[in-house]
Amino acid sequence: MPADKKPIPSVWARPRKEPQQPALSRELIVAEAIKLLDADGIEALSMRKLGTKMGAAATSLYRHVANKDELIELVVDEVYGELRVTAADDPADWRQALAATARDLRDLALSHPWVSAVLGQVGLSYLGPNMLRVSGAMLATLVEAGFPADEADPAMSTVFSYVIGMTVSETAYLSMIARSGQTEQEWAEQLWPAAEQAVKGHPQLVADYAAKQGVDPVQARQEAFDYGLDRVLDGLATRIP
């Protein structure tokens, strides 16, 4: 590599080093990092804290993972390994297949609330083995359905962007409720009087809020997600010749 060029800052763009400590491995570091993230969130993640949790010095972790950014690349790809990609038995069923995968992606993001928040900072995440598996399967579904070759990738990205955008808001909302110590239903009931008072003078909002009163908030979130997903797929369907 020319001296004036810096290496690409990604775990997927450099050779993997042989482990120096058999008791400590990249796989173990990633597994423990995911446990820490699920328990305490992205703000709690640091190489020092993770090392302490594992009973190892942070310098020992750096022999397997170059820095925190690489660790985030690795943990994101690891949780994507949980994602089930639904294949279309018939090319005409592409819509149902993508919708099923999108819903599974939402479930994944809600079970690991930190994922959506870090996707903008994971570098070359698309080169991770699990992400490649997911992307390859979704692209195959779109191409077989008849999408033009140069539109299959943007179509897939559109579905991903919709899901991640929705789950960023959902996870932030659910995290706020979790900090309150209440259930989602309890939170909604407590908030309702203030919401009703706030929308007075806005007739359309008054009608909208009245229609939502008593609706299960979990069901409401699911229906809102499905509505948006259906409209995204409606738009994509127009691109099939």
Q: What is the CATH number of the domain that holds 17?
A: 1.10.10.60
Q: How many domains does the chain have?
A: 2
Judgement on whether residues 212 and 137 belong to the same structural domain of the protein: yes
Of 26, 52, 80, the last residue of a domain is: 80
Read off the pLDDT band of 17 (50, 70, 90). low
Judgement on whether residues 218 and 186 belong to the same structural domain of the protein: yes
% of the chain with per-residue pLDDT over 70: 90
Q: Which residues 6+ apart lie within 8 Å of 18 measured at CB?
A: none
Residue 149, Cβ density class (10 Å: 0-12 exposed, 13-18 middle, ≥19 buried): exposed
In a domain, 85, yes or no: no
Judgement on whether residues 143 and 209 belong to the same structural domain of the protein: yes
Judgement on whether residues 113 and 231 belong to the same structural domain of the protein: yes
The mean pLDDT value for 15-36 works out to: 79
Judgement on whether residues 44 and 103 belong to the same structural domain of the protein: no
Nearest to 119 by CA among 166, 83, 156, 168: 168
The CATH number of residue 126's host domain is 1.10.357.10
Read off the pLDDT band of 215 (50, 70, 90). confident
Judgement on whether residues 203 and 171 belong to the same structural domain of the protein: yes
- Say what the pLDDT of residue 1 is: 53
Of 59, 80, 101, the last residue of a domain is: 80
Asked if 11 contacts 66 with a C-beta cutoff of 8 angstroms, the reply is yes
Asked if 138 contacts 85 with a C-beta cutoff of 8 angstroms, the reply is yes
Judgement on whether residues 50 and 167 belong to the same structural domain of the protein: no
| Residue 3 predicted with pLDDT over 80 | no
In a domain, 5, yes or no: no
| Residue 40 predicted with pLDDT over 60 | yes
Judgement on whether residues 39 and 19 belong to the same structural domain of the protein: yes
Of 80, 110, 128, the last residue of a domain is: 80
| Residue 241 predicted with pLDDT over 90 | no
- Say what the pLDDT of residue 18 is: 56
Judgement on whether residues 147 and 73 belong to the same structural domain of the protein: no
Domain that holds residue 225: 91-237
**Entry pTM:** 0.83
Judgement on whether residues 178 and 222 belong to the same structural domain of the protein: yes
CA dist 118 and 114 (Å) reads: 7
Chain segment 121-179, per-residue pLDDT in tens: 666 667 889 999 999 999 999 999 999 989 999 999 999 999 999 999 999 888 889 88
